[in-house]
Amino acid sequence: MPHDVRHVPPQVSEVSERPHVKYPFEFDGRWVLRYHIPYDVQHDGRAHHILASIFREPSVHGRIQVGCEGTPVAEYDDLTPGDVVEITGDAWRVAEVEYRTHITLERVADSNEEATGAQAGE
């Protein structure tokens, strides 16, 4: 009676093959920060916490608070589309602010334009 024993090499999970991403909620260079939903980001071995708030008076605008291990490190207020913020060393442009829903951020291409909000050549 033949005994069929096949050696099957262990399979590597596709998840483990994916590179570690700094912003786990970023998709195609966009990051939608939901209203009052805290986000955790690992950077330089430290836990950073990001929270978005959105207000409607005097006009719709957002606020993003960034903390690191319980200590506030940055707060960006009065955010409207076109503003640029820095989160854990990366520049993001505010693409959309929707009242009580979300703030959409888009990655700023690497250039001389940093988180100053300056619009070079425009």
Tens-place pLDDT, residues 55-114: 999 999 999 999 999 999 999 999 999 999 999 999 999 999 999 999 999 999 875 444
| pTM score, whole prediction | 0.73
Q: What percent of the chain has pLDDT over 90?
A: 64
Strand order in the sheet with 102-107: 26-27, 30-34, 102-107, 90-98, 84-87
Q: Among 61, 54, 57, which residue's Cα sits nearest to residue 100?
A: 54
Predicted local distance difference test score (pLDDT) of residue 90: 94
CA distances from 103 to 53, 71, 96, 112 (A): 8, 22, 6, 24
Q: What is the largest CA-CA distance in the chain?
A: 84
Predicted local distance difference test score (pLDDT) of residue 115: 42
